[in-house]
Copies of this chain bind each other. A is one copy, B any other.
Amino acid sequence: MIIVMKTGATEAEIQHVIERVERLGLKTMVSKGIERTIVGVIGDESLLLGQPIEACPGVDKVMPVMAPYKLVSREFKPESTVIRVKDVEIGGDKIVVMAGPCSIESLERLREIARAVKGAGAVILRGGAFKPRTSPYSFQGLGEEGLKYLKQIGEELGLITISEVMETRQVELVSKYVDILQIGARNMQNFNLLREVGKIRKPVMLKRGLSATIKEWLMSAEYILKEGNFEVILCERGIRTFEQYTRNTLDISAVPAVKQLSHLPIVVDPSHGTGKRDLVKAVSMAAIAAGADGLMIEVHTKPEEALSDGAQSLTPDMFEDLMSSVKRIAQAVGRTM
């Protein structure tokens, strides 16, 4: 950590900062420039976390040098994490595609969609039972009933299942029915929920928050790993920007960036990332080309009757077309599907 003093900071202020830091068992190195003094901190920077050095008189700013996360970092674990769920590996050579409806609407509809996505090559079935909706007047999901359908169809068709958990009280319930728990973008910094899914022994897919930096996203993953659950899949799903043509701005650079910073697998959700079904295929191809380990795609057999996200859902035909295009990209980057 580097502590930059204000121009004109007094000797007493500088000494005070040095003592403040050394009291924690750290060493300092002082550099007096013509205009400013800089105090470098040597030792375990994490001891300074939560220490409001910036509030000391005479301090201009504090610049951390180390990444604030540990367990999720590639420095901590250089080899990439591969998560095994039944016979599927996430983070390995094979690209994994998760597909299904935004919301689970009925057993029949789910079966119909699940057959279609399985036929096209998806190995994980997605479907929301608890739905975070901007409006209290929108469809809020079928709840436990939806989870039962998901489990039933998953078993019928031999598909792994994933569904969102929205609060701590649902973790046990959702865990009972699904193979992978999803934390949605709006809950990326719901720290109690992160701790709770950190205590279970099922993989967790953590979506990036709408306005979360890559660093904050990794910090949220750190919450889960810290509780003992190392099976975390990151999911880039677009960030909020001024651009309104797409629902969000999919941050494609986040894919190679996360691969460098962390050992965790990363998948991309182009359905939410674009919000426009006509853009989903191109962005899916880009995601795999950039190094993503998988995709999460919303598919519906009747998008115009979908109870949520119809406008960004692909029809089975479109999904099949997407899968064959993505397959060619996967091969070009030396991966299989």
Per-residue 0/1 for A115-141: is the Cβ within 8 Å of any B Cβ (1 yes, 0 no)?
A: 000000000000000001111111110
Residues on the B chain within 8 Å of A85, using CB: none
Q: Is the CB of A139 within 8 A of B50?
A: yes
Question: Do B134 and A216 touch across chains, with their CB atoms under 8 A apart?
Answer: yes
Which A residues, 135 to 153, have Cβ-Cβ distances below 8 Å to chain B?
135-140
Q: Interface digits, A232-260 against B, CB 8 Å rule (1 contact, 0 not)?
A: 00000001111111100111111111011
In the docked arrangement, what's the CA distance between A36 and B42, Å? 10
Who on chain B is nearest to A273 by CB?
B253
Q: Is A2 an interface residue (CB 8 A)?
A: yes
Number of interface residues of A (CB under 8 A): 113
Contact indicator B252/A243 (Cβ below 8 Å): no
Q: Which residues of B contact A310 (CB under 8 A)?
A: 52, 54-55
| Cα distance A254–B245 in the bound complex, in angstroms | 9
B274 touches A282 (CB 8 A): no
**Does any Cβ of B come within 8 Å of A336's Cβ?**
no
How many chain copies does the complex carry? 4
Cβ of A158 within 8 Å of any chain B Cβ, yes or no, is: no
Q: Which of A291-328 contact B (CB under 8 A)?
A: 291, 303-311, 313, 325, 328
Establish whether residues B257 and A213, one from each chain, have CB atoms under 8 Å apart when the complex forms.
no
Interface: A163 (CB within 8 A): no
**Is A63 located at the chain interface by the 8 A CB criterion?**
yes
Q: Determine if A256 and B244 form an interchain contact, defined as CB atoms under 8 angstroms apart.
A: no
Within 8 Å of chain B (Cβ to Cβ): is A288? yes
Complex CA–CA separation, A44 to B213 (angstroms): 33
Shortest CB–CB separation between residue A306 and chain B, in angstroms? Answer: 5
Given A55-B313, A65-B4, A191-B133, A278 and B249 touching (CB < 8 A)?
no
Is A222 part of the binding interface, using a Cβ–Cβ cutoff of 8 Å?
Answer: yes
Q: How far apart are A255's CB and chain B's nearest CB, in angstroms?
A: 7
Q: Which of A92-100, A106-114, A165-173, A174-182 participates in binding chain B?
A: A165-173
Bound Cα distance A226, B135 (Å): 11
A262 is an interface residue with CB less than 8 A from chain B:
no
Closest B residue to A315 using CB positions: B55
A24 at interface (Cβ–Cβ under 8 A)? no
Whether B309 contacts A52 by the Cβ 8 Å rule is yes
User: In angstroms, how far is the closest chain B Cβ from the Cβ of A28?
Assistant: 9
